[in-house]
Amino acid sequence: MTTVERVFEFSLHGLNMPSFPINVPELQLTAELQAGTPLRIKVRLTNVSEQQADARANKVAQTLYRRFLLGFGGHIDRSEPPRMASMIGKRNG
């Protein structure tokens, strides 16, 4: 089985979020939001190409960021959009 992992960081100053998992089986995707400053989201995809992994992981990070801005905008002092912090290539396991 191949697994691709992407880690994104983004800042939402003034907002304290707990860590929580995200699971989207139909996209072969699991993710974990890690609390802290900056927030980190680790996205893992299985059985997808590098190109699909990049697109899906980026979409998850961007969507989560936008939803936080829409839902908690009144509590956010300053924000910085997601940026890729690390990228782990395919591995068989």
DSSP code string of 73-84: GGG-SEEEEEEE
Render pLDDT for 57-89 as a digit per residue (tens, 0 to 9): 999 999 999 999 999 999 999 999 999 998 876
The pTM of this model reads 0.85
Integer angstrom CA distances of residue 51 from 1, 44, 56, 66: 17, 14, 9, 23
Question: Quick check: bond before 38 cis, omega within 30?
Answer: yes
Task: Give the tens place of pLDDT for each residue, 6-32.
Answer: 999 999 998 888 999 999 999 889 999
Secondary structure element (H or E) that encloses residue 19, with its range: none
Long-range contacts, 66-75 (Cβ 8 Å, 24+): 68/12, 68/15, 68/17, 69/12, 72/12, 72/15, 75/14, 75/15
